[in-house]
Chains A and B, each alone.
Chain A
Amino acid sequence: TQLLEQSPQFLSIQEGENLTVYCNSSSVFSSLQWYRQEPGEGPVLLVTVVTGGEVKKLKRLTFQFGDARKDSSLHITAAQPGDTGLYLCAGLSSNSGYALNFGKGTSLLVTP
């Protein structure tokens, strides 16, 4: 199992602030996905990054895949209370049959 470390584990910020969460591994991945999970629900895919150095934007969310395809970051600009949730990264590798192995997640709370 390829280990994914996410940081920080918890983050509590006020509406309007910017934040960055990180996903790191010593393993190389074919691709990396970010999911968001709300209480009582299953995770929902936000983005898939495939190419080393790739940057993808989804409204106020910016995702970057590291050049070596071992790490990724998620930056949120001007956070809103609706961004509150658990952010999970998952690495995919042909070595593991493309099974999704998740990090423990970053729990984000955005207060008005």
Chain B
Amino acid sequence: DSGVTQTPKHLITATGQRVTLRCSPRSGDLSVYWYQQSLDQGLQFLIQYYNGEERAKGNILERFSAQQFPDLHSELNLSSLELGDSALYFCASSSGTANTEAFFGQGTRLTVV
């Protein structure tokens, strides 16, 4: 058990809909990362938050947004969903300092039909 909790584990929704994925980081970790993993693109970095503030942005679409709340949990919002958004979405947490280990949750499998 990594200590990172992601909910829900599975999500099936229709095109055009909006969903929210939730992540509770490991106790004491200030940084949260979101990743999208698909078979053809590998593990793509979306966005990182540190203590409530956005720290780094990767290949995140404009239809996607995220935030980190004062209690350090994070949510990833995906809107106007398309079939191609079907993927595994991982959250990871770390202390956010140099060379630190990232601990990953078990992921949310999103299927858009």
Do A48 and B99 form a contact, CB below 8 Å, given A1-B58, A40-B106, A99-B33?
A: yes
The interface bits of chain A over 38-55 (1 if a CB of B lies within 8 angstroms of the residue's CB, else 0) are 001111110010100000
Tell me if B42 is interfacial: C-beta within 8 Å of chain A: yes
Which residues of the other chain, A, contact B59 by a CB distance below 8 angstroms? 1
Give the shortest distance, in Å, between B33 (CB) and chain A (any CB): 6
Instruction: Please pick, from A43, A90, A96, the residue contacting B56 in the complex, using a CB distance under 8 A.
Output: A96
Do A101 and B45 form a contact, CB below 8 Å, given A40-B106, A42-B104, A96-B56?
A: yes
B106 close to A42 (CB less than 8 A): yes
In the complex, the chain B residue whose C-beta lies closest to that of A50 is: B99
Tell me if A102 is interfacial: C-beta within 8 Å of chain B: yes
The interface bits of chain A over 75-97 (1 if a CB of B lies within 8 angstroms of the residue's CB, else 0) are 00000000000001010101011
Give the shortest distance, in Å, between B42 (CB) and chain A (any CB): 4
Tell me if B24 is interfacial: C-beta within 8 Å of chain A: no
A85 to B15, CA, bound (A): 32
Q: 8 tightest A-B contacts by CB?
A: A42-B104, A104-B42, A99-B56, A97-B56, A97-B55, A102-B43, A31-B99, A99-B48
List 12 contacting pairs A-B, 8 Å CB cutoff, sorted by A.
A42-B104, A42-B105, A42-B106, A42-B107, A43-B102, A98-B97, A98-B98, A99-B56, A100-B33, A102-B42, A104-B41, A104-B43
